[in-house]
Amino acid sequence: MPLNNHSELAAFLTQLGADTATINDVIAVAEPLDLPTRHILLHQGQTPTHCYFLLNGLCHACYLTEQGKQFSKEFYWDQDVIIGFESLINDAPSAYLLETLSASQLIMLPIALFQKWRQQQHPLYQTLLERQLLHKEHKERFMLMHTPKQRLQLFSDHFPELVGRITDYQLASYLGITSISLSRIKKRLASGEINLKN
């Protein structure tokens, strides 16, 4: 794996409080992965074998229904970590599909490493789990406490780099509204009937 990829991964782990021994253990099993747009890393129902550190690019996790509908679970972009904790904890297949939305450079890390950390109650595993829990709490509050217009505002404010990189269908799904509702909000914004700051 190129040195700069080592450095970026090491810097990320250092920010999370990992010690030198842990960082070396991670780098020893890390494998680089360069993927094109719309490449499926994990099929819904497939048992994951790896977790990922996303160096650059854009990935998308979504739930697929038998009727062909897609519900956006999460977006991941530069310097993000992708861990399916439900599968890891329950040793179960993934409940969602994971794919790239752009050409992406990732680092694969064996899920066995995270399973070992879980058994050992490793501090880094605890940190990653708490990080994910906080994100889920924020997402829950985001969905329950705000109107669709406010959700669009918050998403645009907090993730401006994503707005132009995902489709309206994906954005609407993430916001918990239909594409038609999103289109109506955008038309009202364009006409000046409403604005995001109100």
- 113-141: per-residue pLDDT in tens? 999 999 999 999 999 999 999 999 999 99
Mean pLDDT in residue range 7-27: 95
Taking the C-alpha atoms of residue 62 and residue 92, their distance in angstroms, rounded to an integer, is: 17
Whether residue 50 is predicted with pLDDT greater than 70 in this model: the reply is: yes
Phi, psi of 75 (to 5 degrees): -115, 145
Enter the pTM of the model: 0.87
Task: Please list, in sequence order, all residues whose beta carbon lies within 8 angstroms of the beta carbon of residue 108, skipping any fewer than 6 positions away.
Answer: 30, 31, 32, 33, 50, 51, 52
Q: Which long-range contacts (CB under 8 A, 24 or more apart) does 21-24 make?
A: 22/122, 22/124
Phi-psi region of 92 (alpha: psi -120 to 50; beta: other; left: phi over 0): beta
